[in-house]
Copies of this chain bind each other. A is one copy, B any other.
Amino acid sequence: MIIDCHGHYTTAPKALEEFRKRQIDGLKDPSSSPAKDSLRISDDQLRESLEGAQLKLQRNRGTDLTIFSPRAGGMGHHIGNAATSELWSGICNELIHRICALYPENFIGVCQLPQSPGVRPDNCIAELERCVKEYGFIGCNLNPDPSGGYWTDPPLIDKWWYPLYEKMVELDVPAMVHVSASCNPNFHFTGAHYINADTTAFMQFLTSDLFKDFPTLKFIIPHGGGAVPYHWGRYRGIAQDMGRPPLKELLLNNVFFDTCVYHRPGIELLLKVIPADNILFASEMVGAVRGIDPETGHHYDDTKRYIDAIEWISAEDREKIFHGNVRKVYSRFAAR
């Protein structure tokens, strides 16, 4: 069984985008704010949005199940206020729930959180609990920078985040560290902001004793861990210079990397330097890169091909990467 731990609903019907546009317009002119139930998307529309995209790619590529969450770039936590995010998260999560109900063999849900810059993450607890208990979701996406590229909230190791972590531990769900769109013109969202956030989060964890406080808290750092595996020597060296324990001991019971790296040399590096126990298969399809690589004739984001082509991975490690580690990291996946 091959599980893709990182898929977003990037192909939603236009009605969703239109609703969001009206919601944003309503921030200036409250009289034009849409009612929640004004959004109507039928089951057939959901099916149609997936059949020619994620489901087709699952079949073509030979993957079985995708851990599925709302579009990351669409979370837009920097837009409006906590109430804006609450309504929007509720809507996006409900769509994921409906998709998981329509295709229980193909998708399992992870939720967006109603974060808002400067607002304590305590306000995310209710939505997380609802999604896990009512919808059967198995994790959440946690945005380390709800400001959308200005990084004005405290780092992930700050006690600011602890109430949410307590709930994650209680519910036994991990978080994927995932920013949303960037409203800072310095940062292209999928080309810089995403990758920077991954690198930043890892380095925050490296400097802290967060995992002493929460020994069972788990994070997935997507996009192959940002820059981290490429600079693994740098991170080992910085930790050593700082008198921190070796990274394996310090972090690797709690921090995991996905395989969203879109060329074979990158995947090879990842598998070479990061223990197989800490790597989860993922492609982020349909996502940041949709084209076909002229050098290979295949989609850049068909990451399974790169892994399949590497002969030196043992069968045991391959099994961990493709699904064993998911059962470990997403405890509720195993339990369902």
User: What sequence of 0s and 1s flags, for each residue 186-209 of chain A, a beta carbon within 8 Å of any chain B beta carbon?
Assistant: 111011100110011001101100
Report the separation of the CA atoms of residues A227 and B229 in the bound assembly, to the nearest whole angstrom.
9
Report the separation of the CA atoms of residues A269 and B234 in the bound assembly, to the nearest whole angstrom.
15
Contact between chains at A151 and B237 (CB < 8 Å): no
Quickly give the copy total for this chain. 2
CB contacts (< 8 Å) of A224 on chain B: these are 230-231
Report the separation of the CA atoms of residues A188 and B156 in the bound assembly, to the nearest whole angstrom.
12
Shortest Cβ gap from A99 to chain B (Å): 25
CB contacts (< 8 Å) of A41 on chain B: these are none
CB contacts (< 8 Å) of A261 on chain B: these are 230-231, 233-234
Shortest Cβ gap from A273 to chain B (Å): 5
Contact between chains at A207 and B234 (CB < 8 Å): no
Report the separation of the CA atoms of residues A217 and B88 in the bound assembly, to the nearest whole angstrom.
45
Q: For the complex, count residues of A whose C-beta is within 8 A of B.
A: 59
Contact between chains at A151 and B266 (CB < 8 Å): no
CB contacts (< 8 Å) of A199 on chain B: these are 192, 195-196, 199, 227
Kindly specify which of A113-121, A166-174, A288-296 makes contact with the partner chain. A288-296
Partner of A273, one of B190, B226, B265: B265
Contact between chains at A263 and B204 (CB < 8 Å): no
User: What sequence of 0s and 1s flags, for each residue 264-278 of chain A, a beta carbon within 8 Å of any chain B beta carbon?
Assistant: 111011001100000
Closest 4 pairs (CB-CB, A-B): A233-B263, A227-B227, A237-B289, A233-B262
